[in-house]
Amino acid sequence: MNDLEFLEKLLAIPSPSGGEDIFAEYLIAQMRKMGFVAHRDEAGNVVGTVGNPAAENHVVLLGHMDTVPGFIPVRWEGDTLYGRGAVDAKGPLTAFVLAAAQVAPKLTNARVTVIGAVEEESHGWGSQYLAQTMAAPSCAIIGEPSAWDCITLGYKGRLLMEYSLTQPGGHSAGEFVGPAEHAVTFWNSVRRYAGAYNQEALAQGRKGRFYTLDPALRDLHTYSDGLNDYVEMTIVARLPPGFGMADLLEKMDLWAHEAKLTFRGSDPAYQSEKNTPPVRALLRAIRAEGGKPAFKLKTGTSDMNTVGPVWECPMVAYGPGDSSLDHTPHEHIDAAEFRRGVAVLARALETLGGG
């Protein structure tokens, strides 16, 4: 089985968040055939290691096995492979496995651990477990699509909140203000707050979406049981670096009035430095493959937001694929893009491993 056949097989195994078991079993079996010492940890993450198990120099390649829901028929169209996870993030995870296996014989003074985490697309349980239990490695690369010739240095943070309100029913012809209107008023207050914050950020010279506060209304649902009226609303806010949430949380509590606010998760933004061993190794590798490397700052979140502040080691995100295709119904990856990503990672690992 060649590299592209391996990727195609992994895409063909559905692994939505919480349903990674079959995928994990197959991945472990293949990793063991490639020379990895592989197992699943207590969180369900797949953990495979090559190289010198006693080496202090420890490079971690952290990808994730899960995908968002939605079946995309796995197929080739010319040199393009379609399938859910082709870029987010089975493509990068597969590239990690292939690159680590390729350089394994040269890792006499280093060890490389490839991890396929669970539930990155939902609760982030896999990376949370690693942050709690795994000792900080020498450096880490997070498996997310950056394009084969680009390196991602940071991700915005995220705040996930649910708003719910129940009121006795009333006639729309009266002066009754229903739950839906209260929810809209709350949402507009959040939007105005973000607008004011972003104007101030721009005035201070922080340009670009990486430095803006971006709330998004993900769901608004109203219903009635004949006696009471209900509204439920989900808001996701993307947080810029250095954003202090205390003021926003205090104001949202005031804007909510009688509504209930439930916060489902919060991750601060994370940005790594440019002049670190993994950055230098990837820059060198991209140039060696004929590319002109560039840096990216992402407006989403990743496992970097979870493990970065805890491990405090040199860290970047890298992986083949076009991130604009994340979560879309036409997710795909080009064969040449994928193979270049594997080649870049192999060169970088050889450098990081002291070869």
Write out the catalytic residue numbers. Answer: 66, 120
Which pair of tokens denotes residue 50?
């090559």
Q: Exposed (0-12), middle (13-18) or buried (19+): which is 205, by Cβ within 10 Å?
A: exposed
Determine contact, residues 245/159, Cβ cutoff 8 Å. Answer: yes
Determine contact, residues 138/312, Cβ cutoff 8 Å. Answer: no
Residue written as tokens 């896999």? 126
What is the distance between the alpha carbons of residues 123 and 340, in angstroms, rounded to a whole number?
Answer: 31
Q: Exposed (0-12), middle (13-18) or buried (19+): which is 320, by Cβ within 10 Å?
A: buried
Q: Is the peptide bond before 346 cis (omega within 30 degrees of 0)?
A: no
Give the residue among 232, 210, 211 at the shortest CA–CA distance from 221.
232
Element (H, E) at 291: none
Determine contact, residues 235/265, Cβ cutoff 8 Å. Answer: no
Q: What angle do CA 246, 136, 341 make, to 5 degrees?
A: 95
Alpha-carbon dihedral sign for residues 235, 241, 246, 251: negative
Q: Would residue 178 be called left, alpha or beta, if left means φ above 0 and alpha means ψ between -120 and 50 degrees?
A: beta
What is the distance between the alpha carbons of residues 338 and 89, in angstroms, rounded to a whole number?
Answer: 12
Which pair of tokens denotes residue 239?
């947080």
Determine contact, residues 165/308, Cβ cutoff 8 Å. Answer: no
Three-state DSSP class for residue 148: coil
Contacts of residue 284, Cβ cutoff 8 Å, sequence gap at least 6: 347, 348, 351
